[in-house]
Amino acid sequence: MASKWSGEAAGLQSFFADLVRCETRLYNALNDRLRERHGIVTSQFEALRYLRDHPGSRVADLAAEFAIGIGATSKGIDRLEKHGWAVRRPNPADRRSSLLALTDDGSQLVDAAETTVTDALAELIGDTLDGPPGAATRQVVSTLRSLLERDQVGMPTG
């Protein structure tokens, strides 16, 4: 006979697997759509959108938001700069860091790509999140994210 704990553990593992597989499939679907229509991938879209919505951000700000390492974030910004979508400017408050900004091309790109993302998400998950069960699901995932972020769970160490 299985204990209560083994049933709960199996349920948590199943929830985790479902959550991760949904995220992976949605991320990949957005990658495909963005690559096809705009020549970018989801991570680039997310970085561009963050820079648009948080002017004057630093690499460290993006790294914290996306829970990725500073080195990986810096390399991602390097790629955005190579394409002419973002620039680094001296930080007047701290000579050791730069402030990031979108170029005009980057602003136009993120605005166009945002329409693609919104349409794709509506197509992929819109109906699933309708009604009370969808609202409850959104709330549970939002609460989980908030708790993990508050406790800095899963933050890279380097």
- For the stretch 95-135, pLDDT in tens is 888 999 999 999 999 999 999 999 999 999 988 888 888 88
| pLDDT value of residue 95 | 86
* Cα 118 to chain centroid, rounded: 14
Average of per-residue pLDDT across 37-60: 97
- Does the CA dihedral 129-133-138-144 come out positive or negative? negative
Instruction: Indicate the domain borders of the chain.
Output: 11-150
What is the CATH code of the structural domain delimited by 11-150?
1.10.10.10
Q: For the whole model, what pTM was predicted?
A: 0.86
- The total number of residues written for the chain in this structure: 158
| pLDDT value of residue 6 | 66
Residue 80 CB partners (closer than 8 Å, separation 6+): 44, 47, 48, 86, 106
